[in-house]
Structure 1
Amino acid sequence: MSDAHHASETGPQASAEAGAGEGRDFPVRPMRTRLYEQVAEQITTWIAQNGLGTGDRLPPERELASRLGVSRATLSQALVALEVIGVVAVRHGDGTVVTGPPKASRIVDAIRAHADRLPEIIETRDALETKIAALAAARRTDEDLARIHDALQVMEHDIDAGGRGVEGDERFHGAVTAAAHSLLLARLMDEIGDLIKESRIESLSQPGRPRDSLASHRAIADAIGAGDPAAAAAAMHSHVEMVSDVAVLRDGER
């Protein structure tokens, strides 16, 4: 039985251990793309060659970086790109887990498609959520405020534990949207929910971003709690601008 077949059958832990075995080196290709894009392609090729499936773990990041001959920062960016397009999930305390096959013949195509649509996602999100925050400040109930603050606590606890606060972030924006009491705006936000999730993962993976995002969430919550639509809109606009500063939109290493 091949090592690849054995890894697939014996589950996540065996997959990680198999990844550390001899003769299972990552493929190396000529570099014609950004470094993190090349690394992402190497990782997905390795996943396919070794028969890893949904739920299987990749080797630890330190080991991956060493095998690929890249910095932990570059590897982290590659893993985030793969997470955004649905190939892996980076879970605090559980490592990097395969979630599905790439949806494009070349992984770089999928990464760049995400980068190409990101500015439009940001524009749409800013327009919708700024208005939603203003309405929430005018219409929120005590129950709405309780849900908003519960979401902040979830995010804070996750960040304190070393996570990125993704779930709490999602809950917070969902609670603010609900507090606006606008069915049509809620539907519009739902329509772009998957796209926002991509940008959320990308943003919260930037160094120091989770705590910065939490702080700007609190500013939004304070304005909503004070019943100040103008301040809530301004706080939300500033928040979207801040979280939109992501590595994929900057000039990368080539």
Structure 2
Amino acid sequence: MSDALRPVARLRLYEQVVARIREYATDAGLGAGDRLPAERELAERLGVSRASIKQAVVVLEVQGLLDVRHGGGMYLRTDSLDVEPVTELVERRRRLPEVLEAREALETKLAELAAERRTPDELNEIDEALAHMAAEVENGDSGGDGDQMFHAAVTAAAHNPLMAEFMRSIAEQIAESRHESLRQSGRPARSLAQHRRIADAIRDGDGQAAAEAMRTHVRSVSEVRLLTWNPDD
């Protein structure tokens, strides 16, 4: 039976506020670095409570579209507010902890094995990935391509085909967690530094240090605004 006549979902008030803020930014020609009106002004102009404004702001912040400077206002981080549907945010929030648990279990062991088994050519691949990521970050990008290259190089250096297959099977979810992390303010440079520590341990042949550095890195990926957001507030 077709579900075309399923009940129509009601938009939460803050979702409507998000849509209005996006419309305002477009009409006003705002871009990256431009400031939005203060919460109080937005509440007055939209005729809603400041609580609704705050929740809408959190949704934009979670998606990496807005930089909230406490006591200093709200600034666009992108040239357009291409807002992801809240239903998709909620679903990603649900599955992200499981993805991070799987990453920690797999990637800490891969880093340990890479330290024990890497070849000179594989060390070069790791270094090339770091150089690529560094160039991306220096140019103001997230470093996502270099990040992916780095983890792929570590996986190859571990010489465990079965674990490599496990990594390939969750590649899409890993990419999602990577994107979620790297769009946090200041995270690309921090992630690059963590990757360098992992690489140093692998180069030194120190499996325990490599595993610990990778564990620290993966756990930092969990420090994202999305996981502190409650869509029902």
Q: TM-score, normalised by structure 1?
A: 0.65
1:130-149 per-position Cα deviation (integer Å, ceiling 9, x unaligned): 01001100110011100101
| Match for residue 119 of structure 2 among 141, 144, 148 | 141
Letter in 1 for 2:147: D
Query: What SS class does the counterpart of residue 187 from structure 1 fall into?
Result: helix
**Structure 2 contact 130–192 (Cα < 8 Å) conserved:** yes
- How many residue pairs are counted as aligned between the two chains? 192
Give the corresponding residue for 2:142: 164
- Equivalent of 1:119, from 97, 103, 118? 97
SS at match of 1:162: coil
Distance 1:41 1:194, change over 3 A: farther
Alignment gaps of 5+ in structure 1: 1-28, 47-57, 82-93
Tell me the distance in 2 between the aligned counterparts of 1:239 and 1:221: 12
Aligned-pair CA distance for 1:60: 3.3
Q: Partners of 2:154 and 2:60 in 1: how far apart?
A: 31
Structure with larger RCO (C-alpha < 8 A, sep 6+): 2
Is 2:192 aligned against 1:208?
no
CA contact (8 A) 1:41 1:108 kept: no
Distance of 2:174 and 2:188 partners within structure 1: 16
Aligned-pair Cα RMSD in Å: 3.4
In 2, Cα distance between equivalents of 1:192 and 1:173 = 13
Q: Which amino acid aligns with 1:172?
A: F
Q: How many Å separate the matches in 1 of 2:192 and 2:207? A: 20
C-alpha displacement at 1:40, in angstroms? Answer: 9.7
| Partner Cα distance (1:183, 1:218) in 2 | 24
How far off its partner does 1:251 sit?
3.7
Distance 1:64 1:74, change over 3 A: farther
Structure 1 moving runs of 4+ over 6 Å: none
Once residues 40 and 129 of structure 1 are traced to their aligned partners in structure 2, the CA distance between those partners, rounded to angstroms, is 40
Residue 108 of structure 1: how far off its partner (Å): 1.6
| DSSP 3-state at the match of 1:217 | helix
Q: Say which SS state the counterpart of residue 176 (structure 2) adopts.
A: helix
**Cα deviation, residue 208, structure 1:** 1.2
